[in-house]
Amino acid sequence: MKRYRLSDLTDTSEGHFLEGLVAGSRIGGGGLSFPAGGRRSHTADGPGGRDYHTHDDYEVFVILQGKGVMELDGREHPMTTGDILVVEPGEDHHLIADRDDPCVTLWLHV
C-alpha cells in the first residue's frame, strides 16, 4: 500500500492524473461509490465465500468526502477527505465507511 494526499498529485496535461504515483500508463476502469455508513466492501467475496479480495492490477481509492477505514491485509488504515490509497497487486483490501460520516470514494484500476 502507498498513501498520498491530493496535494501530492503533480500537474499534468498528458497521461493520467496519477502519473508518477502508480505504475501503468492508463486507467482501465473504476467508478464512484457512496456506501452506507458502516458498510464493509467485498465481505465473503473470495473463493468458497472466504473474506478475501485482491486484484492483479493497482486499485486506487480517492476519498472525495467523509471518512472510512481501509482494511489492508488485516490492518486498519483510517482515511479522510483528500486521502489517496494505492492498493498494490495481491493485497487483500476492504473499505469500511464511517457510520456517522460515510465516505464518497472514487476507485480506479490502473
What is the share, in percent, of the chain residues with pLDDT greater than 70?
Answer: 94
Q: Is 23 helix (H, G, I), strand (E, B) or coil?
A: coil
Whether residue 69 contacts residue 100, with contact meaning beta carbons closer than 8 Å, is answered with: no
Number of domains in the chain: 1
pLDDT of residue 87: 95
Q: Model-level pTM greater than 0.85?
A: yes
DSSP 55-103: -SS-EEEEEEESEEEEEETTEEEEEETTEEEEEPTT--EEEEE-SSSB-
Question: Which CATH number characterizes residue 84's domain?
Answer: 2.60.120.10
Render pLDDT for 12-28 as a digit per residue (tens, 0 to 9).
888 888 888 888 778 89
Its domain, for residue 89, covers: 2-109
Bridge-partner residues for 22, per DSSP?
19
Question: Over the stretch 56-83, which tens digit does the pLDDT of each residue have?
Answer: 999 999 999 999 999 999 899 999 999 9
